[in-house]
Chain A
Amino acid sequence: MELGRKIAGALEAATFERVAGVGLANAERNHPRIVHSVLELAGTPLGAGDAAIVVGAGPSLQRRRSLERLRASGFAGTIVAADGALGACLRAGVVPHVVVSVDPHPARIVRWFGDPGLTAVPADDYFRRQEMDPIHREDELAANRALVGLVDAHGPEIKVAVATSAAPAVVERCEQARMELYWWNPMYDDYDKPGSLSRRLWEMNGLPCLNGGGNVGTAAWVLTHAVLGRKRIALIGIDLGYAPGTPYEKTQYFPELSDMLGARHTEAFIHTENPVTGEVWFSDPAYHWFREVFLEMARDANCETFNCTEGGLLFGPGMTTVPLDAFLDTIPPAARKGSHG
């Protein structure tokens, strides 16, 4: 078996190791701030109809100008964005109804909401190095300042589906921007097993546990279907892969793979041809695992999922691949005059 796939096979357990401790600690710290359950979101005014678009921060978002096309279409269904895509959405004039945030990292994730406390270029090159929101590469401080302004301006229009694992800095920033918070627990383990952490969390705060699928984009899709009840869900910017020509050094897990495998790190990348575009995209073990998990969940879910990324690696049984414009053409005219899209 290829090295990348072999590592990917170990990531379900590895992710638990990575996030369970800090996630539970954050849940305890966030507990006094919990007012609304994410289940209440289903009863709030969102987009019209049963169609929704889930926005991730993958490179196809820029390559295909997906947000600009979404904006021009006047789509009035529900728009749910991963936190990493919030900046791109707002810059394109798309105000998502819901933003999903889950990552417990203490310092990084607040940047997706604009960090008012950032006054110098940080030593951490996470945002400069990778492809998720390229504007950070050009001038990190200016990009942050602009995002602070956009989030402050639109915060009251946006609901945040925030996991109890989220860093307190993210929670504070959302509250400061007057975003309304709706809480949920990440599902950490099998709630039917003795000593389950998921069950312990539910007993502590009574919030539902969502099976997150490894990353925030997949969690946003889970929420859109399982919580909001949307039955026709299109994906943009959820590539779960790196675009052709992306240097390995610019990939999300490069430092970790390099530390772990040394010169063999190149063997961890998996190259796959997109059957629609003919482009060869590639994944690392984490993205490969995310892809396998997403396809498994989509295959079993009682909804239609449309991959409208026009790129990436998310194709297979359970996933209908269509251009974004073709999906938008199926939306009834009454649902195409949105104030958010």
Chain B
Amino acid sequence: MPEFLKGNYKVDATIEDKADAADSTDAFEKKALSRLGGSICFVSKKSLMWQGEAQPAGGAAAAGEATTRTASRATPEKGETDGAGTKDSRRA
């Protein structure tokens, strides 16, 4: 703001930079909004379940491949699953 107020005169008023105030307003809004959120996240355009990186064939998570796909993901990627087919992919 101060750089826009240069001129061939002086003013008595002190011009305060509002950047900090704007930041604190944003933080307040963020905090207020967070109280309205859900109990678990939703991650858009991702599969219903992700089982981590697929292991080499025969490994523990070898069956962790998608058996179906979502419309938003044309090609299922490793470890993503939207349906069953998970029985052999236990990790814990």
Contacts and interface: CB of A to CB of B under 8 A. Distances in A.
Interface stretch (A59-67, A87-95, A146-154, A182-190): A182-190
A124 interface: no
Contacts, number: 198
Nearest to A219: B40
Contact of A206 (B30, B50, B92): B92
Contacts of A10: 33
Nearest to B45: A190
Contacts of B47: 211, 226
Interface stretch (B6-14, B17-25, B81-89): B81-89
Interface in B30-56: 30-44, 46-52
A153 to B, nearest CB: 27
A290 to B, nearest CB: 7
Give the secondary structure class of B's interface.
Answer: loop
A165 interface: yes
B33 A229 contact: no
Contacts of B44: 12, 296
A260 B32 contact: yes
A15 B82 contact: no
Interface residues of A, number: 78
A211 B36 contact: no
Contact of B83 (A39, A104, A192, A301): A301
A191 B79 CA distance: 11
A187 B82 contact: no
Contacts of B72: 300
A189 B40 CA distance: 11
A71 B67 CA distance: 33
A125 interface: no
B41 to A, nearest CB: 5
A227 interface: yes
A106 to B, nearest CB: 13
A140 B37 CA distance: 26
B51 to A, nearest CB: 5
B34 A206 contact: no
Contacts of A256: 32, 35-36
A3 to B, nearest CB: 12
Q: Which residue, of A12, A13, A285, A302, has the highest number of chain B Cβ atoms within 10 A?
A: A302
Contacts of B85: 229
Interface string B61-92: 00000011111100001000111111101111
Contact of B40 (A203, A213, A253): A213
B51 A208 contact: yes
A42 B87 contact: yes
A188 B43 contact: yes
B50 A214 contact: no
Contacts of A286: 36-38
Contacts of A19: 37-41
B39 A215 contact: yes
Interface of A: 7, 10-20, 34-37, 39-40, 42-43, 102-105, 163, 165, 183, 186-192, 198-199, 202-203, 205-216, 218-219, 222, 225-231, 253, 256-257, 259-260, 284-286, 289-290, 293, 296-297, 299-303
7 closest cross-chain pairs (CB), A and B: A229-B84, A212-B40, A15-B37, A214-B38, A302-B68, A37-B92, A17-B34
Interface of B: 30-44, 46-52, 67-72, 77, 81-87, 89-92
Given A192-B77, A206-B91, A207-B91, 9 more contacts: A189-B41, A198-B50, A208-B86, A209-B51, A212-B40, A216-B40, A218-B42, A284-B36, A300-B71
